[in-house]
Amino acid sequence: MNPVFIIAEIAQAHEGSLGIAHSYIDALANTGVDAVKFQTHIADTESSEFEQFRVNFSYEDKTRFDYWKRMEFTAEQWVGLKQHCEEKGMEFISSPFSIAAVELLERIGVKRYKIGSGEMTNYLMLQKIAESGKPIILSSGMSDLTELDETISFLRKWENQLSLLQCTTAYPTQPEEWGLQMIPILKERYQIPVGFSDHSANIYAGLAAVTLGAEILEFHVVFSHDMFGPDAKASLTLEQTKSLVDGVRSIEKSLKVDYLKDDVSKFIELKTLFGKSLTTKRAVKAGEIVTINDLETTKPGNRGISAKYFQQIVGKKWVADFPGHHFIKEQDIV
């Protein structure tokens, strides 16, 4: 079992500020995530005047194009962000949204590509990425199984290492929308690593996904849920991120162990300490019939007949008078 690959996505939480972007890298270095993911937007090639705001989340931008323009960094700035991630021991990843973005990311030397679910039918861009020979992580957010079949079949011609994320395009995602049941289904259907891309704003979905076999976790990160922007309400805070990573690593340790309940020898002393022996509940007389109402159970478990065998003495007779709270031995009954 390989460690779960944990990706914290900054996306546009930097609000176009290079300084804030670098601040996120510093902050995430203390959480234990494996990779930091951005989104590389080049407005002139990606967008147009016809693109509408899904939700108008910007006080600064009149159009969606203006927003993407504000999210751009120069090639040199992207190099700096990548170097910063690597200095902090994290992989730099960025999702492209145009051929130009792929070309930029190739120039700065990314190790792998993450494809947003809106790009799953952008075969022109996908072919450009596939020709790099690098691993590709696909998000299933807006795709049905037929579309996934087609896209994965298209990409398999280049023999890149493919992986797929169960994802629901809803911000924030409600529990009934997580779709965790799809993780084993997608594993069986495509025979590739499957992970989970989360927008729930809590750690529960990610932890559950790992127990169901998710090999990659991706989620948005924000300094505060009160920040303005398209993803803030569906993101994890830094504190939540640290808790999630710690939880995932603990689950991994648990699942690596071949835990079988066939040898409890190490619990013998504890079983004796916490076990119960049969005792008299009240004073009893010789010759009386033993009834269930005569019996109590008292610790430890090695002072007489085990409570497990009470049925074997009910109906027999007491051989002598015994006080209450007497530990019953086999010779006490006949």
Other CB atoms within 10 A of residue 67 CB = 22
Task: Report the pLDDT averaged over residues 272-292.
Answer: 96
Report the distance separating Cα 83 and Cα 102, nearest Å.
Answer: 18
- Give the pLDDT confidence of 59-110 residue by residue, as tens digits: 677 788 888 888 899 999 999 999 999 999 999 999 999 999 999 999 999 9
| pLDDT for res 262 | 82
**Strand ranges across the sheet with 113-115:** 91-96, 35-40, 5-9, 216-220, 194-198, 162-167, 136-139, 113-115
What is the model's pLDDT at position 325? 96
Cis peptide before 184 (omega within 30 of 0): no
Pinpoint the residues of the chain covered by CATH 3.90.1210.10. Answer: 265-332
Q: Please compute the mean of the pLDDT values over residues 48-69 and round it to a whole number.
A: 75
The string of pLDDT tens digits covering residues 5-27 is 999 999 989 989 999 999 999 99
Determine the topology of domain 265-332 in CATH. Answer: Type Iii Antifreeze Protein Isoform Hplc 12 (3.90.1210)
Q: Helix count (H) and strand count (E) of the chain?
A: 11, 10
Judged by phi (left if over 0) then psi (alpha if -120 to 50, else beta), residue 325 lies in: left
pLDDT by residue (tens digit) across 149-197? 999 999 999 999 999 999 998 889 999 999 999 999 999 999 999 999 9
Q: What is the pLDDT of residue 150?
A: 97
Model confidence pLDDT, tens digit, residues 186-234: 999 999 999 999 999 999 999 999 999 999 999 999 999 888 777 788 8
The vertex-114 CA angle with 116 and 110, nearest 5°, equals 140
- Residues of the chain above pLDDT 90, percent: 80
Check residue 234 and give its pLDDT.
Answer: 86
pLDDT at 133: 98
How far, rounded to the nearest angstrom, does the alpha carbon of residue 45 sit from its chain's CA centroid?
35
| Percent of the chain at pLDDT exceeding 70 | 97
Tokens encoding 208: 């559950």
- Mean pLDDT, the chain, as a whole number? 93
Q: CA–CA separation, 312 vs 115, rounded Å?
A: 68
Amino acid at 118: G
Extract the tokens encoding 282. 């009240």
Give the pTM.
0.85
User: For residue 221, which of 229, 207, 213, 232 has the smallest C-alpha distance?
Assistant: 232
Q: Which residue has the higher pLDDT, 97 or 262?
A: 97
Q: Report long-range pairs for 78-83 (Cβ below 8 Å, ≥24 apart).
A: 78/40, 78/104, 78/105, 78/108, 79/108, 80/18, 80/22, 81/18, 81/21, 81/22, 81/25, 81/38, 82/108, 82/109, 82/110
pLDDT (0 to 100) of residue 147:
96
pLDDT-based confidence at 56, cuts 50/70/90?
low
pLDDT of residue 58: 63
- Residue 130: pLDDT band (50, 70, 90) is very high
Q: Residue 281 has which token pair?
A: 């509940």
User: If we measure between CA atoms, which residue out of 75, 112, 92 comes closest to residue 25?
Assistant: 92
The CATH code of the domain at 5-256 is 3.20.20.70
Cβ partners under 8 Å of residue 177, min gap 6: 168, 170
- Kindly report, as residue ranges, where domains of CATH 3.20.20.70 are found in the chain: 5-256
Residue 317 phi/psi, 5-degree rounding, is -115, 150
